[in-house]
Amino acid sequence: MMESQDQDFWNVHSLTLIEMAYEAGSRERLENPDGYGTRTGVCGDSVEFFIMVDHNNCLSNISFDFNGCIYTAACCNTVVHLALGHSIDNVWNITPDMIADYLQTLPEDHYHCAELCVGGFYQALADYQSKKSIKKD
């Protein structure tokens, strides 16, 4: 039974989703990030995002850690892919729909993984902006 489920995964998903699911280059915990966000979803999966912002107010490094399913991994990597190098102002426009569209074959019953990852990422952005406004005062 497990073998047929594994074969189904490889056959029914886009190459993009498979690549994002197994990409491990951004999975790390940054010490002293400029922004940090964490979130736990209704399914029990949890994500943490760590961001670094350069002097141009662009995301120079984004990493994450997670405890969850392969779809959560794919969604986390997609957030990194869509946001890295872009300005803080622009990345607030990333939505769960954009994640699902990019992955092409995210199952409907795992759409909450995209919501979870975007929510954790937004928390990291908000943390950065909060720290930045405290520094100005």
Binned at pLDDT 50, 70 and 90, residue 10 comes out as confident
CATH topology of domain 2-136: Sufe protein. Chain: A (3.90.1010)
Q: Which residues pair with 50 in a beta bridge?
A: 36, 63
Amino acid at the residue 37: G
Burial, 74: exposed, middle or buried (Cβ in 10 Å; 0-12, 13-18, 19+)?
A: buried
> So where are the chain's domains?
2-136
Question: Contact at 8 Å (CB) between 68 and 11?
Answer: no
Q: What's the distance, CA 47 to chain centroid?
A: 8
**Spatial CA neighbour of 81 closest among 67, 95, 62, 100:** 62
Q: What is the pLDDT of residues 63-116, one digit of tens each?
A: 999 999 999 999 999 999 999 999 999 999 999 999 999 999 999 999 999 999
Helices (H) and strands (E) counted in the chain, each on its own, are 6, 3
pTM of the model: 0.92
Q: What is the pLDDT of residues 122-134, one digit of tens each?
A: 999 999 999 988 8
Query: Which residues, in sequence order, are CB contacts of 31 under 8 Å at separation 6+?
Result: none
Binned at pLDDT 50, 70 and 90, residue 4 comes out as very low
